[in-house]
Amino acid sequence: MRVLFCHGKEGNPKGNKAVAIGKMPGTTVVTPKLTNSYERKDFVNDLGLIEALAAGADVLVGSSRGGALVANTKLNLRKVLIAPAWKRFGVEPNLTKEDIILHSKHDDLVPYEDSVTLAERFGCTLIECGVNHRMSDEATLTEIKKAILNN
Q: Note every long-range contact of 22-26, with CB atoms under 8 Å and residues 24 or more positions apart, other chains counting.
A: 24/145, 24/148, 24/149, 26/1
pLDDT beyond 90 at 77: yes
pLDDT beyond 80 at 151: no
Task: Give the domain ranges of the chain.
Answer: 2-149
Q: What's the mean pLDDT in 20-29?
A: 96
**Pick from 151, 135, 48: which is nearest to 85 by CA?**
135
Q: Which fold has domain 2-149?
A: Rossmann fold (3.40.50)
Q: What's the mean pLDDT in 112-124?
A: 98
Q: What is the pLDDT of residue 14?
A: 92
Q: What's the mean pLDDT in 80-107?
A: 97
